[in-house]
């Protein structure tokens, strides 16, 4: 009997057996994974976006090891905590005040507390089909669930309401349905529903509507932060945030996340309207990872990586066309999804129409046979990082070409 339930601690790690063979990672480095049999795979899941530098980046590993050697949990304030906060704030404009936590779910939970304390209101809204963590307060309306379709009256669970992503009119209707919202939790890209990007002007429109009604904008950047630029993706795409949550890429795989906010909003912590706690919040290894990671990301050429990634997406789509299959892609050069069809989705309704679990499962199995690891889910994503050089991208495209050939066969 296994003692670890299902053999995993997070449901996102579940993988199907392929040819009767399971998959377990022995180690990871750069863009590569090695399984328990010693086989090497090119990785496109990349810790679900938890690194932009590749697995086990040497400078980050060295900094973390030094922090652990100096004592991983001193209980009291330590110098690297402020250094990490200052390093992060350099990339986030007016969101200059920082609280570190350990996971993205914690960050969203704390950001919600900040918004309620700052506005004196209780109710929140989030996108239908969005994912803002697994805590009960926001684990509602996720992609694949019935509420996400918003087929009837506006879905609500307790103090949480849903709104439609990329629907300009629904932003106005939301505040008619609930005029006293504390905040709207905004994912700049509907990533967990297949990397659906915002329509031009949508994030600015939503920000303006919320602010006009006295609500704050919580920009949930746990997944997208530092993926399109060295900073927040949402501000790049037009959102005007009061609070933001970041995680994943800021720590290169270490368990660290943060809440960022404008000084007047984050004052709720200093004047006693809100509390924060957590034994491991801002622990030295996490702060060392943030400092080392941001130092590396500041030196990277994001436009070049995005351009190379866009070319890779086009080559993958062409690989399927070479085998008579229409496939399209949504997202960006550093994170994207593939769909069986000729037109990428612009909203969740279109994404559900394209979603094909059987096709997604066959694609995962075919890529795995080519020694490429991918997310096997219908709304899965591919992540490209600064560790994916041209040789690795060529290998990836060739693997997709072989996978397209396999999917062209009946099955």
pLDDT for res 20 = 82
- Over pLDDT 90: what percentage of the chain? 92
Main-chain dihedrals φ then ψ at residue 70, nearest 5 degrees? -85, -5
> Band of the pLDDT at 312, cuts 50, 70, 90?
very high
- Give domain limits for the chain: 12-43+301-407, 58-297
Average pLDDT on 133-149 reads 93
pLDDT band at 293 (very low <50, low <70, confident <90, very high): very high
Stretch 231-243: mean pLDDT, rounded? 98
pLDDT score for 32: 98
Would you tell me which CATH number, out of the four given (3.90.1150.10, 3.40.50.1460, 3.50.50.60, 3.40.50.920), belongs to the domain 12-43+301-407?
3.90.1150.10
Residue whose pair of structure tokens reads 């630029």 in the numeric block:
229
> 12-43+301-407 with 58-297: one CATH topology?
no
SS3 string, the chain, reads CCCCHHHCCCHHHCCCCECCECCCEEEEEECEEEECCCCEEEECCHHHHCCCCCECCHHHHHHHHHHHHCCCCCCCCCHHHHHHHHHHHCCCCCCCEEEEECCHHHHHHHHHHHHHHHHCCCEEEEECECCCCCCCCCCCCECCCHHHHCCCCCCEECCEEEECCCCHHHHHHHHHHCCCEEEEEECCCEHHHCCECCCCCHHHHHHHHHHHCCCEEEEEECCCCCCCCCCCHHHHCCCCCCEEEECHHHCCCCCCEEEEECHHHHCCCCCCCCCCCCCCCCCHHHHHHHHHHHHHHCCCCHHHHHHHHHHHHHHHHHHHHCCCCCEEEEEECCEEEEEECCCCCCCHHHHHHHCCHHHHHHHHHHHHHCCEECCCCCCCCEECCCCCCHHHHHHHHHHHHHHHHHHCCCC
pLDDT at 410: 82
Residue 157 has pLDDT above 90, yes or no: yes
Q: Which residues pair with 244 in a beta bridge?
A: 219, 260
Choose among 398, 407, 411, 394: nearest CA to 324.
Answer: 407
The sign of the dihedral angle between the CA atoms of 24, 330, 193, 290 is positive
Contact 317, 341 (CB under 8 A): no
Residue 11, pLDDT score: 83
Average pLDDT for 106-111: 98
Cα atoms found within 13 Å of the Cα of residue 281, Cβ hemisphere only = 17
User: Which two structure tokens, joined as six digits, stand for 97?
Assistant: 């005040």
Tokens 């609930």, residue located: 178
State phi, psi for 273 to the nearest 5 degrees: -75, -20
Give me the mean pLDDT over the 297-310 stretch.
98
Per-residue confidence at 10, pLDDT binned at 50, 70, 90?
Answer: confident
Task: Give pLDDT tens digits for 34-69.
Answer: 999 999 999 999 999 999 999 999 999 999 999 999
Residue among 166, 222, 218 at smallest CA distance from 192: 222
C-alpha–C-alpha distance, residues 287 and 292, integer Å? 9
Is residue 141 pLDDT above 80, yes or no? Answer: yes
Looking at residues 366-377, what average pLDDT do you find?
96
Token code pair at residue 311: 């070319």
- Which residues lie closer than 8 Å to 161 by C-beta, 6 or more apart? 123, 124, 125, 126, 154, 155, 174, 177, 178, 181
Measure the CA–CA gap between 42 and 28, rounded to whole angstroms: 10
CB atoms within 10 A of CB 411: 9
Domain 58-297 has CATH 3.20.20.10: no
Mean pLDDT of 266-285: 96
Q: Is the pLDDT of residue 184 over 90?
A: yes
Contact 226, 234 (CB under 8 A): no
At residue 375, does pLDDT exceed 90?
yes
pLDDT over 70 for what percent of the chain? 100
Q: Is a pLDDT exceeding 80 seen at residue 210?
A: yes
pLDDT at 4: 87
CA distance 109 to 88: 20
* pLDDT exceeds 90 at position 75: no
CB 258 within 8 A of CB 110: no
- What is the residue-averaged pLDDT of the chain? 96
Q: Is the pLDDT of residue 169 over 90?
A: yes
Please report the pLDDT score of residue 17 as a whole number. 81
2 CB burial (10 A radius; 0-12, 13-18, 19+): exposed
Contact 334, 382 (CB under 8 A): no
Q: Is the pLDDT of residue 154 over 90?
A: yes
Q: Give 315-371 pLDDT, tens digit per residue.
A: 999 999 999 999 999 999 999 999 999 999 999 999 999 999 999 999 999 999 999
Q: What is the model's pLDDT at position 309? A: 98
Diameter of the chain measured on Cα atoms: 65
As a whole number, mean pLDDT of residues 96-110 equals 98
Question: Exposed (0-12), middle (13-18) or buried (19+): which is 87, by Cβ within 10 Å?
Answer: buried
pLDDT for residue 2: 85
pLDDT of residue 203: 98
- The whole-angstrom distance between residue 7's C-alpha and the CA centroid of its chain comes to 24
d(C-alpha 97, C-alpha 85), whole Å: 8
Taking the model in full, what pTM does it have? 0.96
Amino acid 381: pLDDT: 96
Average pLDDT over residues 9-23: 84
Residue 19: its pLDDT value, please?
A: 82
pLDDT above 90: residue 22:
no
In this prediction, residue 256 carries a pLDDT of 98
Total count of residues recorded for the chain: 411
- 137 pLDDT higher than 80: yes
């Amino acid at each position: 009997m296994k003692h670890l339930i299902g053999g995993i601690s997070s449901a996102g790690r579940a993988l199907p057996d392929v040819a009767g063979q399971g998959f377990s990672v022995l180690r990871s480095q750069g863009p590569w994974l090695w399984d328990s049999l010693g086989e090497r795979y090119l990785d496109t899941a990349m810790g679900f976006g938890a690194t932009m530098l590749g697995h086990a980046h040497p400078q980050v590993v060295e900094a973390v090891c030094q922090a652990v050697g100096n004592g991983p949990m001193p209980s009291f304030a330590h110098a690297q905590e402020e250094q990490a906060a200052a390093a992060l704030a350099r990339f986030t404009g007016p969101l200059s005040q920082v609280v570190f936590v350990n996971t993205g779910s914690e960050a969203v939970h704390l950001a919600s507390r900040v918004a309620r304390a700052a506005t004196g209101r209780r109710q929140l809204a989030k996108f239908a089909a969005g994912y803002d963590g697994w805590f009960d307060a926001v684990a509602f309306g996720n992609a694949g669930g019935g509420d996400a379709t918003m087929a009837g009256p506006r879905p609500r669970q307790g103090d949480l309401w849903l709104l439609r992503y990329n629907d300009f009119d629904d932003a106005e209707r939301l505040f008619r349905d609930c005029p006293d919202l504390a905040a709207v939790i905004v994912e700049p890209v509907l990533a967990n529903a297949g990397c659906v990007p915002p329509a031009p002007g949508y994030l600015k429109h939503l920000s303006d509507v919320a602010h006009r009604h006295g609500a704050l904008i919580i920009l949930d950047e746990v997944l997208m932060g530092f993926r399109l630029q060295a900073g927040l993706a949402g501000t790049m795409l037009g959102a005007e945030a009061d609070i933001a949550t970041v995680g994943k890429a800021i720590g290169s795989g270490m368990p660290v996340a943060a809440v960022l906010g404008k000084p007047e909003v984050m004052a709720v912590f200093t004047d006693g309207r809100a509390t924060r706690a957590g034994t491991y919040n801002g622990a030295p290894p996490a702060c060392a990872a943030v400092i080392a990671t941001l130092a590396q990301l500041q030196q990277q050429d994001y436009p070049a990586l995005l351009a190379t990634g866009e070319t890779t997406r086009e080559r993958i789509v062409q690989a399927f066309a070479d085998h008579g299959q229409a496939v399209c892609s949504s997202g960006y050069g550093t994170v994207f999804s593939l769909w069986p069809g000729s037109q990428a989705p612009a909203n969740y309704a279109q994404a559900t129409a394209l979603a094909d679990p059987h096709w997604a499962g066959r694609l995962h199995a075919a890529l795995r046979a080519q020694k490429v690891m991918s997310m096997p889910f219908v709304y899965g994503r591919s992540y490209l990082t600064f560790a994916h050089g041209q040789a690795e991208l060529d290998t990836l495209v060739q693997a997709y070409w072989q996978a397209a050939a396999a999917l062209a066969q009946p099955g």
